[in-house]
């Protein structure tokens, strides 16, 4: 483990002091500690809870899989092991999610935990209860927490659309704010904070909002502005991307961005740091891999059942065979143990060698060896259930692709093609010519064969209208699968509520935003459920 990570983990860990300082054997009367008497000796620890909370986004029942399994890229079917949790994962694929689905509630709670803590910390910084670290101005420290709060509000705006906009520590029950107003708030907050943010890219700022991470956030907000507010902001998005360009660089090897020790990757702009013991919460292999794959890496944990999260075969079909991202992203074919012997199935393939095949019959139930599984994030030898790979929430490749999209949409397909080619180069080392895309390519329709699938075959093509810049959407898929962008991209490109894939059929535009969760509605009668739920 590298020192950067040690430092960061120390910062993030100290937040636990707030809640459970149980390692001190001296008796402490916790009832005497209140927010007004507590001494915030370590300012980084004081703000750490806002960042640490982000780790909660990455379980299979939270933000992460909601972005992927509601899209045309990933699906979590029930399988031979029987793991289905009452069908809650199917709701995502079928777009039949409702206010009772625990994923929706978990996501809402994680967002607002972050927001409420940020509100408190902002007040505490303003009132000097929390003093900035030496060498950091109060304005700069405040600006960082405000951007972190804006990050959560962006997720609220993106996923729930409408919601309570709370910026103080009042106890009054908030009412609803419209998606557009939340969007405006986010833009205003980040824009105001930018001048005060640190430009440093050092280990102290790792996993925190420096100016570039804030700009990457703002660029993402602008990229989807038309969805949020009805008004596109391509020029504004482009401006933010241009400001970042040159500050970071692409990783030479695509898979290195996602390896266990990826904290020093030159590509990562904003990471959510994870550690298998000290900062847990990232375990995609547990809900994607078959239990037998424990033997593949001599894991200390057994992945759940026969695994679930897998690629939608229609999406996999769009890859070029020469695209190294296919194998870098997906676990394919026969699976061997560390001893070189085949790993065996336990359910419908009991005793037979596991061999992950591409095609899946539908989203409801698959065989134990069907469907390509997660290979993007390295599972190191001897891994525990929680991985130590940091999650590259914003990375340089994404900034380049955002810039390319802005150019494409504002009429400069040629320059967009150059950027896309730049990003593709590293993935076509054996067939470099194929990395090159042209302006003409990018305006083509997607090659994705949309349609409703029954028993491995498309039985109802559904909407077959041309997707504008569909080829570019395909590119986003290859580059960012498993990185929680696909739902947003599907919405922006008009796929999300129009096309059919696997067992999914369009369920109407109201599905673009999730329902507010029932527990939130129940406890606050000022809230109003989103339309269509």
Partner 1 sequence: MNILKRKLVLLALPTLMPCVTNAQQSIVKMTPVNFSQVQINDNFWSPRINTVTNVTIPVCIQQTEVVTPRIRNFEKVARKQGEKHEGIYFDDSDVYKALEAIAYSLKNHPDAKLEAKADEWIDKIAAAQQPDGYLNTYYTLSGLENRWSDMEKHEDYNAGHLIEAAVAYYNTTGKRKLLDVASRVVDNIDSTFKQQNRHWVSGHEEIELALVKLYKATGKEKYLDLADWYLQQRGHGYGRGAIWTNRHMGEKYCQDDVPVKDQSQIEGHAVRAMYLYTGAADVGAARNDPGYLKAMNNVWEDVVYRNMYITGGIGSSGSNEGFTVDYDLPNKSAYCETCASVGMVLWNERMNLLTGNAKFVDVLERSLYNGALDGLSLSGDHFFYGNPLASDNNYQRSEWFGTACCPSNIARLVESLGNYIYASSDDAIWVNLFVGSSTDIALKKGKVQLQQQSNYPWNGNIKLTVNPVSKTNFPLHIRIPGWAVNQPVPGETYQFTDKTDSTFTIALNGKPVKYSMQNGYAVIARDWKKGDLLTLNLPMPVRKIKAIDSVKVNVNKIALQRGPLMYCVEQVNTDQNKQSYIVPENTAFNTVYDQNMLNGIVMIKAQVPVLTPTADGSGIKTEQGTLTAIPYYSWANRGKSEMQVWLPTRVSSVNIKANSNDQ
Q: Are 275 and 314 in contact (CB under 8 A)?
A: no
Min separation Cβ 351 and partner 1, Å:
36
Q: Are 81 and 104 in contact (CB under 8 A)?
A: no
DSSP code of 361? S
Q: Are 218 and 191 in contact (CB under 8 A)?
A: yes
Min separation Cβ 85 and partner 1, Å:
13
Of 1, 100, 431, 447, which one interacts with partner 1 (CB under 8 A)?
100
Cα 211 from Cα 192, distance rounded (Å)? 12
x/- letters, 300..339, toward partner 1 (CB under 8 A):
----------------------------------------
Question: What DSSP string runs through 476-516?
Answer: HHHHHTTTT-HHHHHHHTT-TTT--EETB----GGGGSPPP
Using CB under 8 A as the binding criterion, the count of chain residues that bind partner 1 stands at: 23
Establish if 521 lies at the interface with partner 1 (CB under 8 A): yes
Closest to partner 1 by CB, 252 or 522: 522
x/- letters, 124..163, toward partner 1 (CB under 8 A):
----------------------------------------
Residues 204, 207, 210, 211: is their CA dihedral positive or negative?
positive
Of 44, 63, 97, 185, which one interacts with partner 1 (CB under 8 A)?
97
Cα 361 from Cα 359, distance rounded (Å)? 7
Closest to partner 1 by CB, 195 or 531: 531
x/- letters, 163..182, toward partner 1 (CB under 8 A):
------------x-------
Alpha helices in 324-466 (DSSP H): 325-329, 396-409, 413-424, 439-442
x/- letters, 101..120, toward partner 1 (CB under 8 A):
x-------------------
Of 337, 494, 506, 519, which one interacts with partner 1 (CB under 8 A)?
519
Closest to partner 1 by CB, 336 or 521: 521
Could you tell me the CA-to-CA distances from 265 to 243, 256, 281, 289 in Å, in that order? Answer: 20, 8, 21, 26
Min separation Cβ 107 and partner 1, Å:
17
Structure tokens at 500: 């059919």
Structure tokens at 353: 């060698």
Min separation Cβ 90 and partner 1, Å:
9
- Phi, psi values for residue 61, rounded to 5°: -115, 40
Min separation Cβ 370 and partner 1, Å:
25
- Phi, psi values for residue 30, rounded to 5°: -65, -25
Strands 451-454 and 501-502: parallel
Establish if 533 lies at the interface with partner 1 (CB under 8 A): yes
Establish if 509 lies at the interface with partner 1 (CB under 8 A): no
- Footprint on this chain of partner 1 (rule: CB under 8 A): 87, 91, 96-101, 175, 507, 515, 518-519, 521-529, 533
């Amino acid at each position: 483990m590298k020192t950067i990570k040690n430092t960061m983990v120390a910062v993030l860990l100290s937040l636990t002091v707030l809640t459970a300082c149980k390692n001190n054997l001296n008796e402490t009367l916790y009832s005497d500690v209140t927010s007004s008497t507590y001494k915030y000796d370590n300012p980084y620890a004081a703000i750490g809870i806002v960042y640490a909370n982000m780790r909660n986004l990455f379980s299979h029942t939270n933000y992460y899989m909601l972005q992927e399994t509601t899209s045309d890229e990933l699906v979590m079917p029930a399988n031979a092991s029987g793991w289905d949790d009452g069908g809650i994962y199917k709701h995502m694929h079928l777009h039949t999610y409702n206010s009772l689905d625990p994923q929706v509630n978990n996501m809402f709670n994680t967002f607002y935990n972050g927001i409420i803590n940020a509100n408190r910390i902002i007040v505490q910084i303003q009132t000097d209860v929390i003093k900035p670290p030496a060498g950091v101005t109060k304005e700069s420290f405040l600006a960082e927490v405000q951007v972190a709060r804006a990050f959560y509000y962006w997720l609220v705006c993106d996923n729930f659309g409408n919601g309570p906009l709370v910026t103080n520590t009042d106890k009054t029950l908030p009412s609803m704010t419209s998606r557009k107003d939340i969007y405006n708030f986010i833009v205003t907050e980040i824009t105001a904070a930018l001048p005060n943010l640190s430009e440093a890219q050092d280990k102290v700022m790792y996993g925190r909002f420096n100016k570039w991470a804030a700009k990457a956030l703002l660029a993402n907000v602008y990229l989807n502005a038309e969805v949020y507010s009805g008004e596109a902001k391509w020029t504004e998005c482009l401006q933010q991307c241009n400001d970042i360009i040159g500050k970071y660089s692409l990783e030479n090897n695509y898979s290195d961005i996602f390896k266990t020790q990826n904290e020093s990757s030159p590509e990562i702009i904003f990471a959510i740091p994870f550690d298998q013991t000290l900062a847990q919460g990232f375990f995609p292999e547990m809900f994607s891999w078959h239990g037998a794959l424990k033997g593949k890496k001599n894991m200390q944990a057994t992945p759940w059942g026969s695994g679930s999260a897998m690629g939608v075969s229609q999406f996999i079909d769009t890859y070029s065979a020469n695209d190294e991202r296919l194998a870098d992203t997906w676990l394919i074919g026969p699976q061997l143990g560390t001893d070189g012997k085949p790993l065996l199935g336990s359910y419908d393939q009991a005793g037979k060698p596991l061999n992950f095949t591409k095609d899946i019959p539908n989203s409801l139930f698959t065989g134990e060896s069907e469907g390509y599984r997660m290979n993007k994030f390295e599972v190191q030898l001897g891994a525990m259930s929680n991985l130590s790979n940091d999650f590259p929430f914003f990375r340089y490749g994404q900034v380049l692709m955002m810039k390319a999209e802005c150019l494409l949409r504002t009429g400069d397909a040629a320059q967009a093609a150059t950027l896309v080619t730049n990003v593709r180069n590293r993935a076509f080392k054996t067939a470099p010519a194929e990395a090159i895309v042209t302006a003409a390519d990018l305006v083509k329709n997607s090659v994705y064969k949309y349609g409703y699938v029954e028993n491995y075959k498309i039985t109802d093509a559904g909407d077959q209208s041309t997707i504008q810049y569909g080829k570019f959407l395909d590119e986003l898929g290859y580059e960012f699968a498993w990185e929680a962008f696909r739902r947003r991209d599907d919405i922006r490109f008009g796929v999300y509520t129009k096309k059919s894939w696997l067992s999914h059929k369009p369920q109407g535009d109201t599905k673009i935003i999730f329902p507010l969760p029932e527990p939130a509605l129940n406890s606050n009668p000022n809230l109003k459920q989103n339309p269509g739920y």
